[in-house]
Amino acid sequence: MIVAGNTRVLVDAGLSAKEIVRRLAMVGEDAQRLDGVLVTHEHGDHAGGLRVLLGTVDCPVYISAQTLDAYVSERFNVNNEEPRRREKALRNRVEQIESSKDFRIGEIDFHPFTIPHDAVDNFGFTATHHGVKIATVMDFGHITTLVSEQLRGCAAIVIESNHSRDMLKACDNYPWDLKQRILSRLGHLSNEDLADWIRDGFDGAAKYIVLAHLSQRANNPYLAKINAEVALQEKTPLFPCETEICLSYPKEPTPWIEV
Ligand SMILES: [Zn+2]
Ligand SMILES: [Zn+2]
């Protein structure tokens, strides 16, 4: 959730609609007051609650044509009503965006950019309001030059620290092919990859780096945090910075971060 001035944007709707509304209330937000829901890609953990949520809120959905298409047909099955329901729920509710073209929602300027992941058209983005820029980048297999460039000069960065490579490899719950998918360059970012970027790519500008999208089975929040903090310490003798590493948790809302 991003709030700037009088604009409130929900980023993705992967939880159940009920849970989204509940968690927004926990941080003092009313789902009725949303100005938009921005969908970064069609995967269930980002769009699974969207259809039901649209019955509760009346704001538009900002989504690309390709992602919309993939979202509607995702549960396609002759015995399944879901695609038809999704199509109906989104009728006249879509503000079509492009994953590489700037757009604006209320008082916030969004600059999306493509990131390497196995969805049809996923993007990370920066969001700017009155000259303050933040970034959200989740669900991507590796840090590209483009991603690193976009993260420069941000006041806060919400970034994936999905798994510990060793924990993922040792994890009994995941089949081999799923592990391969997560570890691939189109999968998810590991604690180790994030640490490398903090050490070698991060410009030190952000006051906060929020670790997000942590795997509940193949990661440990404290391990992820320590990995990032050690990387920051290794960097600071050369680039003193006051960056704070924060955690987000899967089962509760992340406290507000103000920049
Ligand atoms: Zn995801
Ligand atoms: Zn994904």
| 184 is a domain residue | yes
CA distances from 47 to 10, 15, 75, 149 (A): 12, 8, 12, 27
On whether residue 115 sits in a domain, the answer given is no
Instruction: Tell me the mean pLDDT in the region 202-209.
Output: 96
- Give the rounded percent of residues in the chain with a pLDDT score beyond 90: 91
Centroid of ligand 2 to alpha carbon of 234 (angstroms): 31
Domain C-terminal end among 74, 97, 120: 97
Distance 5 CA to ligand 1 centre (A): 28
Q: Does position 78 have pLDDT exceeding 70, yes or no?
A: no
For residue 11, how far is its CA from the centre of ligand 1 (angstroms)?
12
* pLDDT > 70 in the chain, percent: 98
In a domain, 42, yes or no: yes
177: domain range? 131-259
Residues within 5 Å of ion ligand 2 by Cβ?
43, 139
pLDDT of residue 75: 67
Domains identified in the chain, total number = 2
Q: Domain for residue 32, yes or no? A: yes
**Contact indicator for 60, 34 with CB cutoff of 8 Å:** no
Distance of CA 156 to the CA centre of its chain: 13
**Do 86 and 166 have their domain in common?**
no
pLDDT score of 96 more than 80 = yes
Q: Ligand 2 centre from 241 Cα, in Å?
A: 31
- Segment 231-249 mean pLDDT: 87
Q: Is residue 230 part of a domain?
A: yes
- Final residue in a domain of this structure, among 53, 76, 97: 97
| Residue 3 Cα distances to 47, 123, 250, angstroms | 20, 20, 21
pLDDT score at 49 = 97
Q: Is the pLDDT of residue 6 over 90?
A: yes
Does 22 reside within a domain?
Answer: yes
pLDDT classification of 236: cutoffs 50, 70, 90 = confident
pTM equals 0.96
Query: 106 burial class (0-12, 13-18, 19+ CB within 10 angstroms)?
Result: middle
CA of 13 to the centre of ligand 1 (A): 11
- Based on the fold, state whether residues 176 and 231 are members of the same structural domain: yes
Asked if the structure places residue 187 within a domain, the reply is yes
* Residue whose pair of structure tokens reads 């969805």 in the numeric block: 119
> How confident is residue 133, by pLDDT bands cut at 50, 70 and 90?
very high
